[in-house]
Amino acid sequence: MSKACRIASLIAAASLALGAQAQPSGITANTIVIGQSAPLTGANAELGNEIRNGALAYFRKVNDAGGVHGRKLELVTLDDANQVPRSEANTKKLVEEQGVFALFGYASATLSKPALPIVEKNKVPFLSPFTGADPMRAFNRYVYNTRASYADELERIVEHYTTFGTKRFAIVYYDDAVGKENLAAVERPLKKHDLTITALGAFKDRATPDIEGTVKTVMKSEPEVVIMTTLYKASSDFIKTSAKLGLNAQMVSNSFPGATPLAKELGSSAAGVVISQVVPAPTNRTVPVVREYQGAIEKLLGKKDFSFTSLEAYIGAKVLVEGLRRAGANPTRESFMNALDKLDYDAGGYPVRFTPTNHNGSNFVEITVVGANMRFNY
């Protein structure tokens, strides 16, 4: 081989190497890999699995139609069993070892917050954490929320009941940073009506909450409405114990526990419980995205297993894919985020809008009541 040919070969090899190095994390010629840490086992497993199923249903629909600019979507989900240390370790593995393109659908603020330093260090987009907690709503270049905040929900709940003259409100919450944000979010709208919280039901330990002791504490103030901001097992146990001990108050939950998991956990005790929602009812086929979602979920699972949680994840997955489409045929994390920053998108009767300074895409809130037949009335 001549010297000129050898030089040309070296230049070509160097160019190929540089090209390989320049390939964005999580992107191949045929795939885009999205990472998720979620509780697939443990006390919050139903919530985690529903979030995963909602995303998978939409990704499958997209992949069956040819993918995004010819690339198929892959969702890599690692089980955190609702444990913060595992969520943090999973995030490091997904981002720093597996090199996923973006993160999606963590199941709470408590599980999401440890991901933030890793997200910021590696400049990884983080979409649709399943939380409306204030710490995840503060502007972050890399975090995009596709649902209303807990403050939006709790204000809507308070406004609903004060319209009917209700004055005595209690709140059940976790006595930690996120739980105290929920407490403050109830106090603010009550203050507008010159009201204060009549009783605080604070769970000191998320893993083993003192249900009976908390019910007895709340009962002393004779509340008319008890607002719960806890996981579905704790909320269910509180409602059942309240009935047993004679606490006669309207039980209301925000969307945090997941409406369907909470209703299933309550069983026959669910009738009459009020739950605020951040997406339309998954049975309301007048909404275009609901009709689309129902078909996709049934195709994925082989049954009509519809829930608010998986619908929320389905909508979040639609937003993610729309951002990828707008980022072009060769997306980078930066071009993807630039596309999201200009997103004004109708996901099918559910508008989502981001700007470069506001990554909270929706403030939709609806009040639902669980009927005697376990159906949600709205």
Q: Token pair 């000191």 is at which residue?
A: 204
Q: What does 60-77 look like in DSSP terms, one character per residue?
A: HHHHHTT-BTTBEEEEEE
- Shared-domain flag, residues 141 and 159: no
Q: Which residues of 166-193 are buried (b: 16+ CB within 10 A; e: fewer)?
A: bebbbbbbbeeebbebbbebbbebbeee
**Is residue 236 in a domain?**
yes
**Per-residue pLDDT at 30 exceeds 90:** yes
Residue 210 belongs to a domain with what CATH number? 3.40.50.2300
Domain check: are 139 and 157 in the same one? no
Q: Same domain for 35 and 136?
A: yes
Host domain of residue 63: 31-147+285-363
- Tell which of 211, 237, 254 closes a domain: 254
Q: For 37-65, write each residue's pLDDT tens digit.
A: 999 999 889 999 999 999 999 999 999 99
**pLDDT, tens digit, for every residue of 186-220?**
999 999 999 999 999 999 988 899 999 999 999 99
What's residue 377's pLDDT? 81
Same domain, 39 and 141: yes
Confidence of residue 18 (pLDDT cuts 50, 70, 90): very low
Domain count, the chain: 2
For residue 15, the model assigns a pLDDT of: 35
Q: Measured over all CA atoms, what is the biggest interatomic distance in the chain, rounded to whole angstroms?
A: 94
**Same domain assignment for residues 243 and 228:** yes
269 lies in a domain? no
Do 157 and 139 lie in a common domain?
no
Task: Say whether both 196 and 171 belong to one domain.
Answer: yes
- Say if 13 falls within a structural domain: no
326's tokens: 């707008």
Is 299 inside a domain boundary? yes
Looking at the structure, tell me whether residues 292 and 327 fall in a common domain: yes
